[in-house]
Amino acid sequence: MPNIIYLDNASTTKLDPVVKETFSSALDKYFANPSSIHKLGQEANYLLNKTKDEILALLRCSDHQVIFTSGATESNNLAIKGVCLRYKNRGHHIITSIYEHPSVLEAFKQLEKEFGFEVTYLYPNSDGVISPQDVKKAIKKETIFVSIMAVNNEIGSVNPIEQIADLLKDYPKVIFHSDAAQLIGKTNKNINFNKIDLLTISAHKMHGLVSSGVLIKRKKIELLPLASGGGQEYNLRSGTNDLASALAFKKTLELALSTSKERYLRVENLANRLISYLKSNPYLYELNLPKEINPYIINFSSIKKKGSVVVEALSNAGIMVSSISACHSSKEKGSYVVASLGKNELISNNTVRVSLDYLNTNEDIDTLVSTLDKIIKDIR
């Protein structure tokens, strides 16, 4: 087997050794149940609450609470169903985008099909983003909830979540959620997350643990819990707290935020190197890039070869990329995200997603480029 070049970081990232050590050490040192009333339990509970405060400080979210979850899928479902079912007496109209992560889209579809909600699915504009003005136009008297992702997990489009949050201030009945799984630690901008009512974050997208995430919730917002039990996490997510994972999450977030601008610059240079090659071969590839991209995600389509075959050939050569999101249904033939940009069936069915990381090198990109050149010529 050749040396592995891993370029599927939007699916998951390699665990940071510092995070791994934080988790392992905490397993040994803080094993008591934070809900227990004895000394060890209370010490664990104190540390759990302290960790939440530190996470909020890192994100500068002074009006919020931290709810630990098993990852972005649970956080998205708790935010969407929790709000909509809790406030359904206020209205039955909700808004999202057509190119959200499946954990968002499927939650909306369930609310639409089984609970009678009316859903408006917004399409990206010509720049590949969800326009704040389109959000505003979609709002009705019955609207109670909007969910727009921060960075799209397939094409890397960066949505103006701060501007959307600002315009929604004029609609106090409307609660705003954003799935920020592909944004945190992967931006060179200072974002005011305190404007966002509900924010989803996933650890394993930024070198943390799999099955570890948070939902950042504005304190005044109530949620209908999805699981009943002992009342942990403000009675919103019952179950024994995992203190070791909480400490590992905080360390993951701390490392990601403290190095985000430096890492962004490195990844941007790698992305430009790849984009330059793709643009120089327009008869072989079509770029599926919005006007403003997050350089961690580069999406293109193979014009003359099946995208799935290209991905498999790259894998056989030791280069790991993807076609559509790993969270898509296996029944889906193409990318609904790329199709939402107005691309035809040939292009949306033959996508290749290269998702970069600061651990990647110029040599990785050069090897990818030379291997693509070879396999495109060899595949019949």
5-6 vs 93-97, strand pairing mode:
unpaired
What pLDDT score was predicted for residue 231? 92
> Domain containing 364: what range?
5-13+260-378
Task: Report the distance separating Cα 366 and Cα 81, nearest Å.
Answer: 45
Residues 280 and 153 placed together within one structural domain of the fold: no
Contact 349, 307 (CB under 8 A): yes
Residues 285 and 252 placed together within one structural domain of the fold: no
Residues 139 and 248 placed together within one structural domain of the fold: yes
Integer CA distances (angstroms), 11 to 101, 146, 271, 308, in order: 12, 25, 17, 16
Task: Report the distance separating Cα 279 and Cα 315, nearest Å.
Answer: 23
Residues 189 and 286 placed together within one structural domain of the fold: no
Maximum Cα–Cα distance for the chain, whole Å?
Answer: 69
Residues 288 and 249 placed together within one structural domain of the fold: no
Residues 67 and 172 placed together within one structural domain of the fold: yes
44-76 pLDDT, tens digit per residue, is 999 999 999 999 999 999 999 999 999 999 999
Count Cβ atoms below 10 Å from residue 75 Cβ, excluding itself: 29
Residues 224 and 317 placed together within one structural domain of the fold: no
What pLDDT score was predicted for residue 377? 79
Residues 201 and 319 placed together within one structural domain of the fold: no
The three-state (H, E, C) secondary structure of 254-289, written as one string? HHHHHCHHHHHHHHHHHHHHHHHHHHCCCCCEEECC
- Among candidates 213, 182, 179, which has minimal Cα distance to 105? 179
Residues 374 and 277 placed together within one structural domain of the fold: yes
140-181 pLDDT, tens digit per residue, is 999 999 999 999 999 999 999 999 999 999 999 999 999 999
In eight-state DSSP terms, residue 341 is T
Count Cβ atoms below 10 Å from residue 133 Cβ, excluding itself: 12
Task: From 203, 230, 258, give the residue that closes a domain.
Answer: 258
Residues 298 and 153 placed together within one structural domain of the fold: no
Residues 265 and 251 placed together within one structural domain of the fold: no
What pLDDT score was predicted for residue 2? 60
The model's pTM is 0.95
Q: Name the residues annotated as catalytic.
A: 327
- Listed as ranges, residues in the chain with pLDDT below 70 are 1-2, 325-333, 380
Number of domains in the chain: 2
Instruction: Please report, to the nearest 10 degrees, the dihedral formed by the alpha carbons of residues 348, 354, 357, 363 taken in order.
Output: -160
Contact 164, 148 (CB under 8 A): yes
Task: From 210, 232, 258, give the residue that closes a domain.
Answer: 258
What six digits make up the tokens of 18? Answer: 């510092």
Task: From 240, 258, 276, give the residue that closes a domain.
Answer: 258
Residues 45 and 155 placed together within one structural domain of the fold: yes
Count Cβ atoms below 10 Å from residue 306 Cβ, excluding itself: 13
Please give the distance of CA 162 from its chain centroid, rounded to a whole number.
Answer: 16
What six digits make up the tokens of 10? Answer: 């939007």
What pLDDT score was predicted for residue 329? 43
Instruction: Please report, to the nearest 10 degrees, the dihedral formed by the alpha carbons of residues 347, 352, 355, 361 taken in order.
Output: -120
Task: Report the distance separating Cα 193 and Cα 62, nearest Å.
Answer: 10
Residue 114, domain CATH = 3.40.640.10
Contact 22, 367 (CB under 8 A): no
Residue 317, domain CATH = 3.90.1150.10
Contact 115, 254 (CB under 8 A): no
